[in-house]
Structure formats: structure tokens, C-alpha cells
Structure 1
Amino acid sequence: MEGMLNDLIVRGVYSEFYEYAESILNNMVPSPLEQFSIVPLIPMNLGDLYFSFTNSSLFMLLTLSLVLLLVHFVTRGGNLVPNAWQSLVELLYDFVLNLVNEQIGGLSGNVKQKFFPCIFVTFTFLLFCNLQGMIPYSFTVTSHFLITLGLSFSIFIGITIVGFQRNGLHFLSFLLPAGVPLPLAPFLVLLELISYCFRALSLGIRLFANMMAGHSLVKILSGFAWTMLCMNNLFYFIGDLGPLFIVLALTGLELGVAILQAYVFTILICIYLNDAINLH
């Protein structure tokens, strides 16, 4: 009886110690996913509906304000010899314009220009959102699936509307490739329809997954390097140089990914728009 009592006491002590250690670790070791948490800043209620101005809304507003201010101050001056900021805006403008002219065919230059503002705003907004997410203690807007999915679906719905406007009901011919045997037609129509709808889904997932995975990896390795640096031991300090260099290299790689993902998102929009207009 006494042995069972001692065993229960020992188990209780170990259980309390485990819970205490777990609580300490949870408080001391932050999760790498905490940087993606959406925090309500100004809560608002409208009946049973709950609205709030969150940190995601704040950084989207800051990014949009930064883009508008940059374009406004650059275009207001009209200097014959452009400064660095004016050269940056002109470079972005020429880059997107060449992208539209190269990827969208079958239209005259004036008709193509109707799509240019939407594509230019999308590219600039995504580029600045990705780049401001590289600033420490900021918030990466494009690391949330709902935001990227909402953007991709809204643009894809617009592309579908343009396809119907340009081709009428003949736009549905893309669901059935030429020369398909009649018994396979229903299966291929369903398959092509699913493939067409998944374009919008993959467009949002690609941007979200790349931004979230890269930021999480940088956060994990940065925390590991900082922990080794705080060990107050020469051996750990020397060993910290390896993870520190890896973090610097990954930061540079993540910066390139931020620019590349904005480009990939934009060029896919141009390709899908070209397919909707020319029914490739």
C-alpha cells in the first residue's frame, strides 16, 4: 500500500513538472506561424455580423498608400532627367507594358491598353506587398490564403467575362478540343471545366504557399541562430556562424522569391487573358 502511494506521488510530481515545463516552453519558444496571425485593431459589429480593422487591413492600406504616393510624386514633377524614383516607376511601367504586348495577342495596341491598368495595378500591389513583408516586424499580406484566393478568383471571373464579351457562347468551345471522339466528349468537357476552374485556385495557392513557406523557414532558422548566439559560450558562438550565414542567404533568396512571385502571378493573368480572347 505504501509503495503504491509513493508511486502515485512520484507520478503526480512528474505530471506537474511536465505541465510546468510545457507552459514555460510555450511562453518562451514562439511559434514560427505567429507572424501570420491576424489581430483585430478596431473591432466593429453590425448586427450579428462582426467586422474589424485588422493588421492585414492596415498593411494593405499602407501598401496601397505607398504605391499611390510614389506614383503621384513621381508623375507630378515631370523632370526631363529622371531621378531614381522616377526611373523605378518608368521601369515598372515599361516592364508591365512589354509583358502585356508580348503575352496578349490577336488585339490591336489600343485594345490591349484597356487591360494594362488592371495588370499594372495588380503587379505593383503584389510586388510592394511582398517586399514590405520582408521588413522585420511587418505583416505579409500575401501569406494568407483567403487574400490571395480572393484576388485570384476576382481576376479570373473578370477574365471569364472578357472571354464571353469577345467570343459570345463560342467561348465555351474551349471545353471541347477539336477532333475529340463523340463518346469521350462528356468526359473531356467535365475534365476541361474542372481544369479551367482550378486555374484560379492554383493561382492563389502558388502565391500563398511560396510566401508562407519562405517566411516560416527564415523565422525558424533565425530563432535557432539567435538561441545559439545567446548561449554565452564560445563554442556555440562559433557554431552560430553557419546558421547565421544560412539565414542571410535565405533572406536574399526570399527577396528574390517576393519579386518572382509577383511576376509569375502577373504573367499567368496575361496568359489566361490571352487564352480567353483567342481561345487557344
Structure 2
Amino acid sequence: MRVGYLYISFTNPAFFMLLTLGLVFLLFHLVTKKGGGKSVPNAWQSLVELIYDFVPNLVNEQIGGLSGNVKQKFFPCISVTFTFSLFCNLQGMIPYSFTVTSHFLITLGLSFSIFIGITLVGFQRNGLHFLSFSLPAGVPLPLAPFLVLLELIPHSFRALSSGIRLFANMMAGHSSVKILSGSAWTMLCMNDLFYFIGDLGPLSLVLALTGLELGVAISQAHVSTISICIYLNDATNLHQTFFFVCYFFIIE
């Protein structure tokens, strides 16, 4: 579609993002269509309850120094981000589908927008004192310019790190599955007496790698959510986040 000098295209990422949102809304609607779930939950209701219970627990564990009511204000944003990333990753495991999170522009846009929102939260809660994250207390004045620069650079890279991590893991896993699947299919189609023996190795490896990629799809949504909580903790509790940062790198 051409609008003036602009060309607007409805691309595969846009379609599959809308499809993901539609599936999520449909799932939540079917579970809660009668004003609430069943007293004895089925598998779909158990899945929704698991997702709903997971995020508040993560917020309470990773964000310290705030009351429960203040923490729960972050619940909608974190819950939507986790659910969207999880369903996008899992949808990419379906054959002939499209993995939205394997495209860097999509993950970059998501991580950059979250970074801007967290920065605004930091200024809202701490005012201009939020800038003190770049200069720890007790630093000698001659070292201040160097430390400010050293702190600002990694802080700015937070706008990229979450997007790069998610993109790299999903792209690497999907590429490995695609290459090995093509190799297994080629060996399966070989008109040879020993093709059954030759195909068992690649086929078993593809199945194992597919299970591993399924675990990566779930864990990357988890890790991305943890990183958001850590960044929120940094923004709301200045200079009190060493434990959470160490915990995050141990998980990585």
C-alpha cells in the first residue's frame, strides 16, 4: 500500500504477531468466558493459571524494597511481555509457521521500548536522583567522569541486550533444527540398502534437538522476564542490586 512517499506492507512478522495475540486472547476468553474458571480446572485452565501465578511470584522475588501494591503495578506489563514472548517462541516450533522472535528488528523494538519504559519509571520514582546510578557514593572526584562513562555504556546497552539474547538463541536453535532436519530427510530419501541405519543417527539427533529447542523457547521467555524485573529493580532501588545481577548471570 502506498501512502504518499511511504510504502506500507503487511509482512509475515505483522501477521504472526497478530495471530499470536489472537490465540492468547482466545485462550484467555475460553477459560474465563463465564466470569471465571471451573472449580476442577482442565488442562487449558491450568496453563492459564500457571502463567498468571508465575509472573507475580517472579515480581515479588526479583523486585525488592517496594510494597506489594506497588510491585503489582508492574504486573500487567511484565505479564503481557512474558506471555507474548512465550507464545511467539512456541508458535515458531510449529512446522511451516513463522518465528517472530528470530528477527532482530522485532526483538530490538521490544527490548528498546521496555528500556524506555523502565527509564521513565526510574525518573518517576527517584526524580533526577535516578542519574546517581552512574556515580556510586564515595567515588573520588577525579575518577567521577570515567566512572560515569563506564556506567552509562553498559546501562545503554540494556536496550540491546535483551533483544540480542532472544534473537540469537531463537535463530541459532531454529537454524540447527532446519539444517539437521534437511540432512535427515536427504538420508531418508537415499535409495541405499543401509539408509535405515544411516538415518537413525540424524533422526534421533533432530528429535533430541527439537526437544532442546522447545526448552529454549520456554526458558528464553523466562530469562527475558527476569531481566525486565532486574532492570525494574535497578530503576527503583538504586545501588542495591548486586545480588540480583549475580543471580541473573548465574541463570544465563
TM-score w.r.t. structure 2 length? Answer: 0.92
* 1:134 aligned partner: 93
Deviations 1:54-73 (A, max 9, x none): 11111111100000111111
* 1:68 aligned partner: 25
Seq. identity, %:
85
* 1:208 aligned partner: 167
Q: Secondary structure at the match of 1:142?
A: helix
Aligned ranges 1:78-157 → 2 under 5 Å: 78=36, 79-157=38-116
Deviations 1:157-195 (A, max 9, x none): 000000000000000000012222221110110111111
Deviations 1:96-123 (A, max 9, x none): 1100111111111111111100100000
> How far apart in 2 are the matches of 1:211 and 1:110?
35
> How far apart in 1 are the matches of 2:179 and 2:104?
21
1:264 is the counterpart of 2:241: no
Q: Secondary structure at the match of 1:52?
A: coil
What 5-or-longer segments of structure 2 have no aligned partner?
240-252
Deviations 1:64-88 (A, max 9, x none): 0000111111112322222211111
> How far apart in 1 are the matches of 2:88 and 2:62?
24
Number of residue pairs matched by the alignment = 237
> How far apart in 1 are the matches of 2:91 and 2:24?
12
* 8 Å Cα contact 1:166-1:277 kept in structure 2: yes
> How far apart in 1 are the matches of 2:233 and 2:56?
15
Q: Secondary structure at the match of 1:53?
A: coil
Q: Secondary structure at the match of 2:8?
A: strand
What root-mean-square deviation, in Å, do the aligned CA atoms of Structure 1 and Structure 2 show? 0.9
> How far apart in 2 are the matches of 1:48 and 1:241?
55
**TM-superposed deviation, 1:277:** 0.3
1:228 is the counterpart of 2:187: yes
* 1:37 aligned partner: none
Amino acid at match of 1:47: G
**TM-superposed deviation, 1:217:** 0.6
> How far apart in 1 are the matches of 2:68 and 2:59?
10
> How far apart in 2 are the matches of 1:275 and 1:169?
15
> How far apart in 2 are the matches of 1:95 and 1:87?
12
* 2:16 aligned partner: 59
1:48 is the counterpart of 2:5: yes
> How far apart in 1 are the matches of 2:100 and 2:159?
18
Q: Secondary structure at the match of 2:137?
A: coil
**TM-superposed deviation, 1:143:** 0.2
* 8 Å Cα contact 1:231-1:237 kept in structure 2: no
Q: Secondary structure at the match of 1:279?
A: coil
What 5-or-longer segments of structure 1 have no aligned partner?
1-43
